[in-house]
Amino acid sequence: MTGSIAHLSSRALIGVSGPDWKSFLQGLITQDVESLASGELRYGAMLTPQGRLINDLFVWGDEAGGALDVAAEAREGLIGKLTLYRLRAKVQIAPLDASVFAAWGDAPAEIAGGWRADPRLPQLGLRGAADAVAGVLPEAAYDAHRLALGVPDPAKDGAESDYPIEANLDILHGIDFKKGCFVGQETTSRMHRRGVVKTRMAPIAFYGPPPPVGAEILAGERRAGEVRGGVDGRAMALLRIDRAIGGGLTADGRSLTLDLPPWLAPMFQPIAEEPPQS
């Protein structure tokens, strides 16, 4: 496989620095920040107090502070939320000018230092931040690569009602269940402890352009989920697991199939019924 680099124009950076920056973020996001090393990249999210997704994000660790890789359209609002939470914490929060890039396949020659492995899946490659990189592809190329691996982008495929586990953050190393308290932890931990998640995002395959975003997915005559966005031949969907695994799926009057990658397939298994109580 040849190497590829894409400019992720839908992403932007927020600088977070000061002596309290790690402890400040530690109580806010789903990922452990206290143990983040310089040069490391971790994946996580900010949630509502009720445990629903606000923004997914990557945390970049550096000697002088950190940076948050977030959806560009959400950056201003997220800076406002972080500022409200800051109170007396010794932390500075400001937008950064550098752009976000992704590289995958064989390491391109253009890659120098500062690129970090995507913590979600090894096949996703590397992420980097720079003022400019020569010879890059548009973000659509990266989206096709991401969808081929079955990885959702909550900023593109999500909705305000989604829980992080429905977006597979528990499988994609986006939630540290041992780190202690964070906003939305109670609901998230309860879903994890019970071990029964009824709906998850998963890729679907079909011929031609994707069905409209929000199109209802049916299993026979029963609702099985909805289309969340995609490219020709493949899209992301939020699916009710017990109905999606039975096959016979349609959306917008067209047939489609559930096309699970190996990392996600174990989550789409029939739920064993509890034995009757004697």
Segment 179-210, tens digit of pLDDT: 989 999 999 999 998 877 899 999 999 999 99
234 in any annotated domain: yes
The residue out of 149, 184, 209 marking a domain boundary is 149
Does residue 133 share a domain with residue 229?
no
Tally the domains of the chain.
Answer: 2
Q: Which residues pair with 53 in a beta bridge?
A: 47
SS3 124: helix
Continuous H helices in the chain? 21-26, 75-86, 139-148, 154-157, 185-194, 241-244
143 in any annotated domain: yes
**Whole-structure pTM value:** 0.92
What's 68's domain CATH number?
3.30.1360.120
Confirm if 132 and 99 have CB atoms less than 8 A apart. yes
Q: Which two tokens stand for residue 121?
A: 């899946």
The residue out of 149, 181, 213 marking a domain boundary is 149
116 in any annotated domain: yes
255 in any annotated domain: yes
| φ/ψ (deg, to 5) at 75 | -60, -50
Residues 99-113: pLDDT tens digits? Answer: 999 999 876 555 556
Does residue 131 share a domain with residue 39?
yes
Q: What pLDDT was estimated at residue 194?
A: 86
**Does residue 273 have a pLDDT over 70?**
no
What's 213's domain CATH number?
2.40.30
Q: Which residues pair with 226 in a beta bridge?
A: 216, 238
Does residue 250 share a domain with residue 117?
no
162 in any annotated domain: no
Q: Which two tokens stand for residue 164?
A: 């992080």
30 in any annotated domain: yes
Confirm if 205 and 256 have CB atoms less than 8 A apart. yes
**Does residue 275 have a pLDDT over 60?**
no
Q: What pLDDT was estimated at residue 64?
A: 84
**Does residue 96 have a pLDDT over 60?**
yes
Q: What pLDDT was estimated at residue 180?
A: 86
159 in any annotated domain: no
Does residue 262 share a domain with residue 128?
no
Mean pLDDT over each residue of the chain, to the nearest integer: 92
Confirm if 165 and 53 have CB atoms less than 8 A apart. no
109, with CB counted inside 10 A (0-12, 13-18, 19+), is: exposed
Task: Write out the residue range of the structural domain in which residue 257 sits.
Answer: 198-267
Q: What pLDDT was estimated at residue 154?
A: 96
244 in any annotated domain: yes
**Does residue 256 have a pLDDT over 70?**
yes
The residue out of 108, 126, 149 marking a domain boundary is 149
